[in-house]
Amino acid sequence: MTDNNTLSGRVAVVTGATSGIGAATARRLASAGASVALLGRREDRLKGLADEIGTAAVPVAVDITDQDAVYAAAATIRSALGPVDLVVANAGVMLAAPFESAQTIEWDQMIGTNLNGLLYTARAFVDDLLATAADGKAADLVLVGSVGGHQVFPNYAVYTATKAAVAHLTRGCGQTSARAAYGSRTSSRASSAPSSAPGCSTAPSARCSPGCFRPCRRCPRRTSRTRSPTPPPPPRA
């Protein structure tokens, strides 16, 4: 894969790289010249993506909800590629259910992946990022969020709560890293699928529900005439 060399010499980590946004991000980073560590739970998919990308990619199967496993993966990546200077914490789970009838095991799954997994990932590589920035080089921590971090959708109370936490974490990490390293950059990016349609995503970790308002192939009951509902006007004082 070739595009340009704007990221030549950089070492990137992408979590949730087995499909969807994570896989696309990994491809793009590699095409720009970066070496990319592909993190995810499904080893076969990671190896398939690594074969597609070529020698610039290293697949590392890991459950990011397991802190020790994430730290072990970080050590493996450093041995294979060297210090990391770009982290895209993308892995996430989006499960819809009414709050009053939702299974708490699904809450644990979303909190464990969307928040704890992101924390473990950021912590595992933060020393690399700060050291790189202190040397005057580019260092980036990208925490993939969602418009759900700023807007609540029907049947997504816990999911949007985890993404609101990501938004606050981004700001907090940015303040800390800016003081510590004078130039390390922390940013949050809203993933496109939940931004336009909560519940619509090609990623297996997303589950469509009655809270989904956008027509898509996974929702044959939707039609091209379906529109997102217009919010009611605010009440008068």
Model pLDDT, residue 113: 96
Query: pTM of the prediction?
Result: 0.76
Structure tokens at 63: 């459950």
CB contact at 8 A, 86 and 25: no
What local confidence, expressed as pLDDT, does residue 127 receive? Answer: 94
Specify the pLDDT at position 5: 79
Q: Which of 83, 93, 116, 87 is nearest to 188 (CA)?
A: 87
Q: Where are the domains of the chain?
A: 11-196
Q: Could you tell me the fold of the domain covering 11-196?
A: Rossmann fold (3.40.50)
Name residue 89's beta-bridge partners.
143
SS3 198: coil
Dist. CA 24–CA 225, nearest whole Å: 29
What's residue 169's pLDDT? 86
List, run by run, the mean pLDDT of 10-residue segments along the chain (237 residues): 78 96 96 97 97 95 98 98 96 92 95 96 94 90 82 88 88 66 52 35 43 39 33 38
Instruction: State residue 62's pLDDT score.
Output: 98
**CA pair distance 130, 56, nearest whole angstrom:** 23
Q: Which residues are catalytic?
A: 159
Look at phi and psi of residue 51 and say left if phi exceeds 0, alpha if psi is from -120 to 50, else beta: alpha
Cα–Cα distance list, 94 to 150, 159, 191, 208, 223 (Å): 15, 6, 12, 9, 23
Biggest CA–CA distance in the chain, Å, is 63
pLDDT at 145 (0 to 100) = 84
